[in-house]
């Protein structure tokens, strides 16, 4: 569930937060939706439709990046009795995880390239099998939506690279280096560079860290050739004790980048760089 009042929950709140972030300078907005009763992540196409339509009808036109990361959680029983699986387990098919992508055709959708144990739930695992990822990547290729290859550890980069070698990813490959995510790659520079050095030469990539390292990573990322991501999914604070909004985090990131001489791309420049297939508004 959301941890603070600034985290948007309803489709209207999520869309407005994305619109405000775009006005603050974000070239792309990465979106999740929430079940209105449980406030947990959802794949409900109606919720997705409400968010995306509201953004597309607004006065901004950011690149839309929709998650496909729901429906991949297994929760085991106690270590002494791991089966049956706990009721919180939610495993969706490749088709179910892409229903909103098929309908709404965003320019980008995420593809979580691997499995990872949970730090907050000691019996939980994020599960993305090679077969599942290959099926999802193939369908994204068929419908012309670029996958953002989200990698949470060094081995995930190897898996993502294999998808490219096998012809399942078209055009310029796009990676997101996710640092400091529980039992994933720690946010130290040595680990970050180990991941960067595994990327294909033609790759475009971003890097971020969760928690208090998010804003330091805004300054660090361009130094290692990476683009920047900020937002409430990864960090709730603008400074110590000061809760943030998505727009405030974007404004702070733009300020940091401007001060170190890094120019922020416009949405259309991002589309051109990645050769994205554009939804006609």
CA distance 217 to 227: 10
pTM, whole model, 2 decimals? 0.95
Q: Which of the listed CATH numbers 2.30.30.60, 3.20.20.70, 2.40.110.10, 3.10.129.10 matches domain 11-274?
A: 3.20.20.70
* pLDDT for the residue 1: 43
pLDDT digits (tens), the chain, 281 positions: 445 778 999 999 999 999 999 999 999 999 999 999 999 999 999 999 999 999 999 999 999 999 999 999 999 999 999 999 999 999 999 999 999 999 999 999 999 999 999 888 899 999 999 999 999 999 999 999 999 999 999 999 999 999 999 999 999 999 999 999 989 999 999 999 999 999 999 999 999 999 999 999 999 999 999 999 999 999 999 999 999 999 999 999 999 999 999 999 999 999 999 999 876 65
* Cβ pair 114, 155 in contact under 8 A: yes
Of the candidates 13, 61, 78, the one whose C-alpha atom is nearest the C-alpha of residue 245 is: 13
Q: How far apart, in Å, are the Cα atoms of 57 and each of 17, 54, 156, 281?
A: 14, 5, 36, 8
What pLDDT is recorded for position 139?
98
Sorted by where each begins, the domain ranges of the chain are 11-274
Q: What pLDDT was estimated at residue 7?
A: 95
DSSP assignment string, 169-182: S-SS-EEEEEES-T
Helix 45-56 × helix 11-24 angle, to 10°: 40
Instruction: State residue 120's pLDDT score.
Output: 85
Nearest to 20 by CA among 259, 244, 281, 273: 244
């Amino acid at each position: 569930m959301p941890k603070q009042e600034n985290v948007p929950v309803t489709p209207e709140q999520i869309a407005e937060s994305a619109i405000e972030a775009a006005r603050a300078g974000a070239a792309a907005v990465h979106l999740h939706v929430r079940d209105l009763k449980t406030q947990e992540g959802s794949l409900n196409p109606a919720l997705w439709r409400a968010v995306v339509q509201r953004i597309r009808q607004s006065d901004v036109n950011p690149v839309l990046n929709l998650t496909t990361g729901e429906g991949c959680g297994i929760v085991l029983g106690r270590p002494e009795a791991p089966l049956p699986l706990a009721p919180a387990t939610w495993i969706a098919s490749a088709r179910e995880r892409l229903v909103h992508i098929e309908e709404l055709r965003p320019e980008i959708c995420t593809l979580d390239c691997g499995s990872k144990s949970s730090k907050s739930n000691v019996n939980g695992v994020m599960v993305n099998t090679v077969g599942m990822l290959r099926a999802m990547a193939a369908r994204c290729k068929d419908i012309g939506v670029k996958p953002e290859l989200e990698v949470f550890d060094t081995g995930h980069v190897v898996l993502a690279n294999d998808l490219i070698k096998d012809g399942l990813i078209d055009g310029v490959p796009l990676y997101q280096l996710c640092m400091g995510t529980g039992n994933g790659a720690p946010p130290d520079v040595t680990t970050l560079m180990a991941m960067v050095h595994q990327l294909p030469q033609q790759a475009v990539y971003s890097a971020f860290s969760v928690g208090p390292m998010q804003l330091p990573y805004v300054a660090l990322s361009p130094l290692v050739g990476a683009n920047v991501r900020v937002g409430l999914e990864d960090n709730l604070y603008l400074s110590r004790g000061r809760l943030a909004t998505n727009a405030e985090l974007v404004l702070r990131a733009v300020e940091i980048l401007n001060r170190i001489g890094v120019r922020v791309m416009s949405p259309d420049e991002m589309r051109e760089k990645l050769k994205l297939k554009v939804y006609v508004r």
